[in-house]
């Protein structure tokens, strides 16, 4: 059970890093600091979009439209953080696993 919880926590941590990279890249696009014609940037953008969009889309559908401001990554990040805390503080000790 310890290995399963470790894998779950690792996946959550990696997804949070991917989410942060996606946020930073979207800011770079918004301020026109990266060349969108660059193949590497376009490929990286596509990979990050495909990894994060399945999680962000349902959250966007629930949240009200705020115009140009997209707070869905913040909501997902907070939900992932809450899930981490839940696993570390509640589930792991209940299973007798040290965090």
pLDDT tens for each residue of 7-45: 999 999 999 999 999 999 999 998 999 988 899 999 999
Domain boundaries, the chain: 2-94
User: How confident is the model over 47-90, as pLDDT tens digits?
Assistant: 999 999 999 999 999 999 888 889 999 999 999 999 999 998 98
What does the angle CA 69 – CA 39 – CA 18 come to, to the nearest 5 degrees?
45
Q: How far apart are CA 16 and CA 22, in angstroms?
A: 10
Which residues lie closer than 8 Å to 23 by C-beta, 6 or more apart? 73
pLDDT-derived band at 95 (thresholds 50, 70, 90) equals confident
* Contact between 77 and 2 (Cβ < 8 Å): no
Q: For position 66, what pLDDT does the model report?
A: 87
| pTM over the 0.85 mark | yes
Q: Would you state the pLDDT for residue 33?
A: 93
């Amino acid at each position: 059970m310890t290995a399963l919880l470790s894998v779950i926590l690792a996946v959550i941590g990696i997804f949070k890093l991917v989410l942060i990279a996606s946020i930073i890249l979207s800011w770079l696009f918004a301020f026109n600091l990266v060349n969108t014609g660059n193949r590497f940037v376009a490929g990286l953008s596509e990979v990050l979009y495909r990894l994060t969009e399945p999680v962000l889309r349902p959250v966007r559908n629930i949240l009200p439209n705020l115009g140009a401001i997209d707070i869905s990554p913040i909501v997902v990040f907070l939900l992932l953080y809450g899930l981490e805390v839940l696993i570390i503080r509640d589930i792991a000790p209940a299973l007798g696993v040290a965090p």
